[in-house]
Amino acid sequence: MSPKYDLVIRGGTVVDGTGQAMREADVAIEGTRIVAVEKNLGRGKEEIDARGLLVTPGFVDVHTHFDGQATWDERMWPTSQQGVTTAVIGNCGVGFAPCRPSDRDTLISLMEGVEDIPGAALHEGLRWDWESFPQYLDALERRRRDIDIAALLPHGPLRVYVMGQRAVRREAANASDLAQMQILVRNGLRAGAVGLSTSRTLAHRDTSGEYTPMFEAAAAELTGLGHTLKGATGAVFQMISDFDDARAEFDILRKVCRDSGQAGTVTVLQHDHKPRFHEELLEMIAEANAAGERITGQVICRPVGVLLGFDTSMNPFSSRSAYAAVAALPLAQRIAELARPEVRAAILGQADYRPNLFMQYYGNAFNRMFPVADQPNYLPDASSSVAAMAMTAGCDPLTWLYDFFLENRGSSLVYLPLANYSDGNAEAIESMLKNSWTVPALGDGGAHVSTICDGSATTFLLTEWVRRRKVFTVEQGIQMLTQRPAALYAFSDRGTVAPGMKADLNLIDFDALAIDRPYMAYDLPAGGRRFLQGAQGYRATLVSGQLTYRDGVPTEALPGKLVRGCYGQL
């Protein structure tokens, strides 16, 4: 008897993404689609034995920054190493289209400053075979890669394209400016943009320290741009804000959603200086949804934290002249120099010279720094802090930290949680994850490449909140990573395991699931460095029915496509 299907995943435990109870079933695939999910299906030309494994939809990550990397790279690491099969780029109002040739340096400076992607890598890696946003989408479509990509149209490049240096100086848009921007947004939506993004936070600045071109753009400009989403079924308006005037800021988002009839999404974090504000913001989101405005909070399932070491962008010694004298050396030479007793003594004996604002604030926060183990602990307690380790060793924390950074040929790291971990507990994270109007996100794949590595947040949700803490069932955890984020972007062809759906799947050994230690790789264009991080327990990942990873090792298959929005009457 000839095979009935192209591929059969045999005997796995299907967790279909809907939240319904898991069940044992075969999954049959024809071409790029699932065609049957039931027991005892016929033979396939190829078969994968999934007995003892979970068979889940591929994960959907709605907050990444692969805007540059997706134009030069085939693998969207570290995100695609963590079960993700679809990623949304263009977040936070930054990106590389539309862009005139004269503005390329401006957009690179903006992306480097906001998202900590090395400017040298961007200068070498970006091909700039586009000017308009539709041309950028075409460039994305020409590139083969391991996952699907969808793109928001970012407000920053849009404003610079229309207003030039007036945008860089953050001048107000006039009626003509707004009309031109609206035309470009409509053109982008027709070409396949999945929405529009903007940022209004003080934390986002270019490499010179200047605020972004869209910072404090008038509410009328944002609502005018948001109005162009009307009729664009499935479009999303994504906004970042400090919410200093919380109601006024949130009303911008509500008005965009109300006028356009489209979905809105906003970042929700707990900050030390406003440890309860996330609750207020979630209440506003609930009010908006009760009024019929579809607004979703994006939350991360662990603290947002930076990694510090002798091979990262920052460490507590980086503002000392003796350290600066060797900082540019290749790592092996740098560590050899730093290990010399006279160099060590000089650095430890010096005071900081003009430290950057971050290290000025956090450089001595030893009670908040935690050594990173082979399997990292992202919810550490005070007993494992650098301060505690130094006390046990009977030395001052800086000395202990210096010697620790020298270990493992200079690859040792400490983790410094910045948000979502006030008072050293995870209660806020749990409450945000449990909220009906949130989706797990904010892994920021492709961004903050030498300071943050949160792309593994998908895996952490399953290992920490499902398996260890049992706050969510397996079915709930998988739904949070699949159907819910897919629904936010109206990706109706993915996010569940069902006949007719796209064959994006993970085969997971749930008991073996674990996050590997982050490590620095020098594989960006121009030799730029970035953190990468693998995981254990993903026995296979499929995109469009093709096996892209087996036991964490990439195959030669690169079936990833550009996901274009389909926007009705525009």
pLDDT for res 2: 79
Locate the DSSP E strands across 161-291: 195-200, 236-241, 263-267
Is residue 338 within 8 A of residue 406, CB to CB? The reply is yes
Is it the case that residue 348 has pLDDT exceeding 70?
A: yes
Is it the case that residue 568 has pLDDT exceeding 50?
A: no
- Identify the residue whose tokens are 């079960």: 83
Is it the case that residue 266 has pLDDT exceeding 80?
A: yes
Residues 6+ apart with CB under 8 A from 183: none
- Using alpha carbons, select from 150, 438, 94 the residue that is nearest to residue 300: 438
Q: What is the 3-state secondary structure (H, E, C) of 423-482?
A: HHCCHHHHHHHHCCCEEECCCCECCCCCCCCCCCHHHHHHHHHHHHCCCCCHHHHHHHHC
Is it the case that residue 569 has pLDDT exceeding 50?
A: no
Q: What is the spatial distance between Cα 474 and Cα 158, in angstroms, rounded to a whole number? A: 41
Is residue 562 within 8 A of residue 192, CB to CB? The reply is yes
What is the pTM assigned to this prediction? Answer: 0.95
Which DSSP state fits 498? S
Is residue 524 within 8 A of residue 473, CB to CB? The reply is no
pLDDT band at 113 (very low <50, low <70, confident <90, very high): confident
Q: What is the spatial distance between Cα 320 and Cα 401, in angstroms, rounded to a whole number? A: 15
Q: Which CATH class is domain 59-303+422-488?
A: alpha beta
* Residue 253 token pair: 């988002």
Show me where the domains of the chain are located.
Answer: 59-303+422-488, 306-418
Q: What average pLDDT does this structure show over 154-164?
A: 95
- Residue-wise pLDDT tens digits, 447-463: 988 899 999 999 999 99
- Residue-wise pLDDT tens digits, 351-401: 988 877 778 888 899 999 999 999 999 999 999 999 999 999 999 999 999
pLDDT for res 208: 67
Neighbours of 550 (CB within 10 A): 15
- Residue-wise pLDDT tens digits, 527-561: 999 999 999 999 999 999 999 999 999 999 999 99
pLDDT for res 105: 93
pLDDT for res 1: 65
* Residue 310 token pair: 């002798």
Is residue 29 within 8 A of residue 8, CB to CB? The reply is yes
* Residue 100 token pair: 């005139």
- Using alpha carbons, select from 70, 87, 95, 91 the residue that is nearest to residue 145: 70
| Summary mean pLDDT of the chain | 94
pLDDT for res 570: 42
pLDDT band at 206 (very low <50, low <70, confident <90, very high): low
